[in-house]
Structure 1
């Protein structure tokens, strides 16, 4: 027997029909529950002053004292610096990417580190660009996708770290640098790590040149802001004079491959399209020319070429690193082949670095590592070798006659990694 619906009480069979009082009460309960759920709860606070962290309340982070401390009469104190894993995580990813690439390239492990190395690299580049954008312009909404490792990368028009600018929005600090010393140091360190990893990537020459140019701009910005120079121990003081002292002991080179290189550069003149490519070619010709007369001038010519492309206007720099142009690839293969053949420069640089270290005994422990094992197997572990091998594959059949000398350099290195050291 069904009970009558009195004062909003219904039977189980009539539960689908609610009385007005019950419906109103349920709506109010849902409203209160929804409001409670929407209210942000701050059981902990990871940023802010010490008092708000201790009290586990949200800190508005006003300066010099937050509102909570002012109301409570506490002395407001903030941490001295932001934690590394919060604001400088691009540096962490850059370290992991470089370490994985170095282990794989030097023969210490198999190719299982290829994908992690590139994944960490993409994360570091994405966060690096985000940090740079926050200093002088509004944040760019870019996404870093996990790449699929390819043994035969295709030529690209520009570097992977460069992106199209997004529409700008209002920013409180637009046009003003808000870089701190810690942030600038982390950015410069990340630049060097990404540059180091670029040397192990077959298609990394564009990224290397872009990062080299960017690191110079970052260092100049830090100097403008009055920060002390970073990484003073990377190169000894008066490095040019130190290099002169070491190179004056080396006589001019008299090798048959120098004449072959000059002939190959002469052939490139017929296919250079504009003055920019001819200027690139002239720098390489100067390096080969001084090989027969003065080894120290070879060093200054090499450094002059670096300074030349770093100081190019942005549009011209983008044209130089456009690897969809076969002439640009040929110029790059000749430059890299020339650097691989100039073994005396690397030997002098390594000797200077060893002499500048305060504790040379610490270096003895690492001489039996992955790099030495790779050399014992006859593998070329010079970083730029990967660029040469990759770009030689990019040359099309119609242009291979202009690339005979760089291909010859690669063949000699494949046969004997120490060929140009003799």
Structure 2
């Protein structure tokens, strides 16, 4: 987990540095620099997206809420609590508006990328079971949001300085499997929902609406 998350974050930071130096070209993850402009372009196309299956959203919210005891008011876990609050907002918005859920997911990406290094290290510590659980829920959320994320990708060509590949990733199933496998017996009860998501994807990769 540490190697993968550090690698992805490194790509984003280097890309932004190149962009800020005026190197030209299209910037993947441009949302971090041009958030308001992106919203204006995307909103007309995504505002009326249908909600995902209610049972999926309710399951996600129940799963995230189930982590409350591990982070809420626990001294020394302020970073984990921030992580939990952000993914909780994504889950709540899935019951309200797919567009708002997308915006909440974008906010999480920005928060994750801008974390100071010492706090980022807490979230990729392989001995931090709470961080592993949060990561599993985050990736599982992206899997059930496949139709929303794919709708965003289809809009990418309408945006200046963005490539079609610049949309939020729907996640990596193998990474979800890896995170689920790292949860120890003591914390297994907290990870039922991400395991359920993994099981559905094992049966049918397109179960949640993924088309590619």
CA distance in 2, matches of 1:390, 1:305: 21
Aligned to 1:44: none
Contact 1:219–1:229 under 8 Å retained in 2: yes
TM superposition shift of 1:252: 3.2
Aligned to 1:243: 42
Larger helix percent: 2
Unpaired stretches in structure 1, ≥5 consecutive residues: 1-154, 160-203, 358-381
Pairs within 5 Å for 1:239-278: 239-272=38-71, 273=74, 274-278=77-81
Contact 1:243–1:348 under 8 Å retained in 2: no
Task: Classify 1:271/1:214 alpha carbon distance in 2 versus 1 (closer, same or farther; 3 Å).
Answer: farther
Q: Which runs of 4+ in 1 moved over 6 A?
A: 233-237
Task: Classify 1:210/1:228 alpha carbon distance in 2 versus 1 (closer, same or farther; 3 Å).
Answer: closer
Aligned to 2:11: 211
Contact 1:235–1:353 under 8 Å retained in 2: no
Aligned to 1:231: 26
Pairs within 5 Å for 1:8-407: 158-159=2-3, 204-220=4-20, 222=21, 227-231=22-26, 238-272=37-71, 273=74, 274-353=77-156, 384-407=172-195
TM superposition shift of 1:228: 4.4
TM-score of the two chains, using structure 1 as the length reference: 0.42
Q: CA RMSD in A?
A: 2.8
The alignment partner of 1:322 has SS state of coil
The alignment partner of 1:421 has SS state of coil
CA distance in 2, matches of 1:260, 1:414: 18
Larger radius of gyration: 1
Unpaired stretches in structure 2, ≥5 consecutive residues: 161-169
Task: Classify 1:242/1:286 alpha carbon distance in 2 versus 1 (closer, same or farther; 3 Å).
Answer: same
CA distance in 1, matches of 2:81, 2:6: 19
**1:379-417, CA deviations, whole angstroms, 9 ceiling, x for partnerless residues?**
xxx651111011111111111111110011111111111
